[in-house]
Amino acid sequence: MGLDKILSISGKPGLYKLITQTRSGFVAESLMDGKKVSVGLRNNVSVLSEIAIYTLDEELPLREVFLRIQVKEKGQKTAVDHKDDKIKLEEYFFEVLPNYDEDRVYASDIKKVVQWYNILVDHGITNFSEKENAASEEE
């Protein structure tokens, strides 16, 4: 499963897998507890494949950030926890992405990236390369 089927829903913790679309929105399943939720069109929903992180040069797709974390951690969960203090999270993120824009990427953003990466690893969603995701869409 690629990042194009994984969602972040504003006001709801964790990540969700898109199940199906309905007339008034869609149904998603929580990766945290497996519960299904109905999401209306009024909810603010972000698809992980559409999210990017600001760097000093460009906007780097989230999948690229996940790939860098994956290489650093050798495919395992992160060495830091999303609940760690701001300084520790920023130091970790600087190791992963040395040119991230410190003025536009907040500690809360770093927390989300770390938390999301760990959730994805826990659920075996570790293929972040764009080529693989494009190939799986064609099937």
Over the stretch 11-36, which tens digit does the pLDDT of each residue have? 889 999 999 988 889 999 999 999 99
Domain 3-48 maps to which CATH number in 3.30.70, 1.25.40, 3.30.450, 2.30.30?
A: 2.30.30
- Whose tokens are 């989300």? That residue is 112
pLDDT in tens, 50-93: 999 999 999 999 999 999 999 999 999 999 999 999 999 999 99
Per-residue tokens: 137: 């869409």
Q: What is this structure's pTM?
A: 0.88
Please report, for the chain, the start and end positions of each structural domain, with discontinuous segments joined by +: 3-48, 51-138
Q: Which CATH architecture has domain 51-138?
A: Orthogonal Bundle (1.10)
